[in-house]
Chain A
Amino acid sequence: MKLTANRVIRSRRASLPILAVMGVLLAGVPAYAQRGNQGGGQPPPLPAGAAAGNPFARNPQAVVEGQEIYNRSCTACHGKDGSAGDRALALGAPARRYARRTDADIHDAIMKGIPGSQMPPSGLNDTDAWKVTSYIRGLRGTAGDAPAPGDVAHGEQIFLGKGQCINCHMIKGKGGLSGPDLSDIAGIRKMASLVAALTKVQHKIATDGGTHDAELLPLATYQPVRITTADGKTITGVLKNEDSFSLQVLSSDNALHLFDRAALKEVFYIPKSIMPTDFDKQLTPAEFQDLMAFLTRQVIAAPQVAGRPGRPAGE
Chain B
Amino acid sequence: MRIIEDRGLRTGREAALAPWRVLAAAALLLVSTGAAQVTDQDLRKPDPQNWLHYSGSYDAQRHSLLKQVNTTNVANLQAKWLYHMTGAIDFEAVPIVVNGVMYISQWNRVEALDGRNGRLIWQYQRQPATRGWHRGVAVFQNKVYVATADASLVALDTRNGNLLWESKAVGEGLRMQGAAPLVAKGKVIVGGSGRGGGWIQAFDAETGQHAWTWNVIPKPGEKGVETWEGDSWKLGGGPVWLTGSFDPELNMIFWGTGQPAVDFVGDVRKGDNLYTDCIVALDIDTGKMKWYFQNTPHDTHDWDSTEIPILVDAEFKGQKRKLLVQANRNGYYYLIDRTNGKFLQGTPFVSKLTWSTGLAEDGRPMVVPGSEPTVQGNTVCPSTAGATNWPSPAYNPDTRYFYLIVQEGCGVTYRATENFKVGAAPGLNSGTGYMESPADQENWQLHVRALDLTTGKTAWSYMQVGSKHYGPGVVSTAGGLLFAGEQQGQFTALDAKSGKVLWHFNTGGLITAGPMTYMIDGKQYIAIGSYSNVMAFGLP
Chain A interface (Cβ within 8 Å of chain B)? 1, 5, 8-9, 12, 16, 19, 31-32, 34-35, 37, 164, 167-168, 170, 172-173, 175-178, 181, 183, 214-218, 224, 236-238, 240-241, 243, 245-246, 248, 250, 252-256, 258, 260-262, 264-276, 300, 302-315
Contact = CB atoms under 8 A, between A and B. Distances in A.
A37 B127 CA distance: 12
B6 interface: yes
Given A1-B1, A274-B23, A276-B18, 18 more contacts: A31-B122, A31-B124, A168-B24, A183-B163, A217-B123, A246-B114, A246-B119, A248-B119, A250-B160, A252-B30, A253-B26, A269-B4, A274-B19, A304-B150, A313-B193, A313-B239, A314-B239, A315-B385
Contacts of A16: 6
B2 A34 contact: no
Contacts, number: 224
B424 interface: no
B376 interface: no
B3 A9 contact: yes
B107 A309 contact: yes
A305 B150 contact: yes
A214 B119 CA distance: 16
Nearest to A266: B2
Contacts of A5: 1, 3
Contacts of B7: 271
B163 A173 contact: yes
Interface string B6-50: 111010001000111011111111110011000000000000000
A152 B486 CA distance: 57
Interface stretch (B171-179, B342-350, B394-402, B499-507): B171-179
29 contacts: A12-B5, A31-B123, A173-B164, A173-B165, A181-B161, A181-B162, A214-B87, A217-B120, A224-B19, A236-B22, A236-B23, A246-B114, A250-B159, A253-B26, A254-B30, A254-B34, A256-B99, A256-B158, A258-B101, A258-B520, A262-B1, A266-B3, A303-B150, A305-B128, A305-B130, A305-B150, A312-B177, A312-B241, A312-B258
A265 B130 contact: no
Contact of B120 (A237, A241, A308): A241
A226 B282 CA distance: 50
A123 to B, nearest CB: 41
Interface in B95-137: 99-101, 107, 114-117, 119-130, 132-134
Contact of A276 (B20, B107, B302, B385): B20
Contact of A306 (B30, B114, B174): B174
B259 interface: yes
B272 to A, nearest CB: 18
Q: Which of A214, A271, A303, A314 has the most CB of B within 10 A?
A: A314
Interface string B59-96: 00000000000000000000000001011000000000
Contacts of A254: 27, 30-31, 34, 159
Contacts of A238: 23
Interface residues of chain B: helix, strand, loop or mixed (majority): loop
B436 interface: no
Most buried by B among A248, A302, A308: A248
B408 interface: no
A225 to B, nearest CB: 10
Contacts of B1: 1, 5, 261-262, 264-267
A248 B163 contact: no
A177 B157 contact: yes
A240 B120 CA distance: 8
Given A167-B24, A254-B34, A268 B6 contact: yes
B472 to A, nearest CB: 14
